[in-house]
Amino acid sequence: MIQKLVILSLLFFSTLHADHYSITPHEGLKPIYFIKLGSFHDQRNALKAQTKIPFETHILYLKRYYSLMSPPFDKKLSARHFFQTIQARYPDAYLVTLYRQPTQRMQPQVQEQGSFNEKSDDYQEGVAYFQNGAYEEALIRFDRVLIDEPDNLDASLMYAKSLYRLKLYGDAKDAFASLLKKPLNANQKHLVKRYLAKIDAKRRRSFLDGVVSIGVGYDDNIGLASKRKTTRYGGLELQNDTDKKHSTFGIVSLALSHRYRFDRFDWVSRLYSYNEVAHSVKGNNLNYLDLSTGLLKQSGNTMFQLLVGANISYLEGDEIAHNFYLDPKFGYHWSDQGYGYIGGSYLLNRTKYADDRDYSMRGIACGLSQSFQRLQAGVEIGVDTYEPKEDVRYDIDRKAVRAEGYLKYVINRRWFVQSNLAYMDERYNDLDANVGYKRKDKLKNVALKIGVLPWQNGWLSLDVARKINDSNINAYSYDKNLYAMQYHYRLKDE
């Protein structure tokens, strides 16, 4: 009896749209889906519940009680998705299927690329919801457009993209695959294939990603001497070493990451190798290797990561130092374009080239990143504390406050420019025995990268970097410059 009342109410409601519905299927009639939920004796309770439903609903009066009814859905997938989101809260909710014979309406003119000249209000609202990260509302709007315009390529594409954003990868793949059967232009076809590749990567359990970089560098101050002839501090004039050494060298680096997805978490492993080779000044060839592995847990918009790792560095084949570290991080995605995190770090160092230089480090950092259409930006602020294992090391015991950020602008599909800025203020806790006061360093890094993407999985970049350390103790001041042309090749893109 209740279901009949619901259907009769739907039939009455549908007359507002000048459409004809039938309870039973007939040839030529299109199925349309609705969600009915809730039973309220007081209309005020229905209005209150209506504000908590994650999509638009209408209030219906059904013989002594009120109920909430969704707008029509063109695809059963959309209706089923929203039915599942509210079923736990409203166990009496259920799907209703009617069969619609739409009235004859004038169809909009179609452009050559298959898009309509005039976008409906539902389409414009859907785009606005999509841009603001409200993908459930966007899905409803695009679904509503497809009721009257099943061949609207723009709405079909946005519908598939909304499914992808909602992480309904199986349904999104079917929606994108069906688009390939329609008359798409070159840009639309490229976009659809790119999404299909992303979906395949998302649904894989194991995947590998890597970047290979090669380049050349020039360092006009390999000896770490300052360009300034003298440094003044506390009335003292300290003479600097102005006999700088220049060096050219090659750069070879490799970054690999592997992820395996279990049902409840991911296991990630990362390898990074950086090498400076063929220095024109002997004794400066550097090799660095870092390996880490650990747990990555994602739940909704939150992320937790716990990595353990080790790294080792060599100079001319002799080990300089090795480190063991722990790197936990907690992050939150407030949208697909915005991300924030807070993390800690703990490191144990073992120095090989000199005695009494072992130390430990504890740190905490937080960061934000945000992407826009062509602009990407991020910033991180952290505090690190270094503690020597031996009390005699006055040049290790210190605290460092650091801040770094980047800004990347995508000029077009092939060119981009990126700038990086970093600043670190180090304050030492003990007096320097040679000069009788505490050391203070201010380290600044400025870098500019101009890149071009001539291939799908590879790009070239020109990197210019300058590193300056202003220290109140002359021996630790330096000014270095680095110029490099690098080639990057991505093995597999997630």
Tens digits of residue pLDDT in 467-481 = 998 888 877 888 888
Q: Based on the fold, state whether residues 53 and 186 are members of the same structural domain.
A: no
Q: What is the CATH number of the domain that holds 125?
A: 1.25.40.10
**Nearest-angstrom CA–CA distance, 439 and 426:** 8
Same domain, 70 and 130: no
Confidence category of residue 111, pLDDT binned at 50, 70, 90: very low
Give me the phi and psi of 187, to 5 degrees please.
Answer: -65, -40
Determine, yes or no, domain membership for 111: no
pLDDT in tens, 194-208: 888 888 877 777 878
- 288 within some domain: yes
Q: Judge if pTM exceeds 0.85.
A: no
Average pLDDT over residues 264-275: 94
* In a shared domain, residues 48 and 78: yes
Environment class of residue 140 by beta-carbon count within 10 Å: exposed (0-12), middle (13-18) or buried (19+)?
A: buried
User: Whole domain around residue 158: which residue ranges?
Assistant: 121-202
| Residue pair 96/79 in contact by the 8 Å Cβ criterion | no
Same domain, 10 and 35: yes
Amino acid 475: pLDDT: 76
Does one domain contain both 90 and 131? Answer: no
Same domain, yes or no, for 150 and 236? no
Whats the size of the chain, residue-wise?
494
Tell me how many domains the chain contains: 3
Q: Which two tokens stand for residue 144?
A: 């509503």
Q: Looking at the domain assignment, is residue 108 inside a domain?
A: no
State what percent of residues in the chain have pLDDT above 70.
Answer: 81
In this structure, the answer to whether residues 192 and 211 fall within a common structural domain is no
Q: How many CB atoms lie within 10 A of CB 247?
A: 19
Among the residues of 89-219, which ranges form H helices?
121-131, 135-148, 153-165, 169-179, 186-203
| DSSP string over 370-430 | EE-SSEEEEEEEEEEEEEESSTT-TTT-EEEEEEEEEEEEE-SSSEEEEEEEEEEEEEEEE
Residue where one domain finishes, among candidates 164, 181, 202: 202
41-45 own/partner pairs: CB under 8 Å, 24+ apart:
41/65, 41/66, 42/66
Query: Which pLDDT tens digit goes with each residue over 346-355?
Result: 999 999 887 7
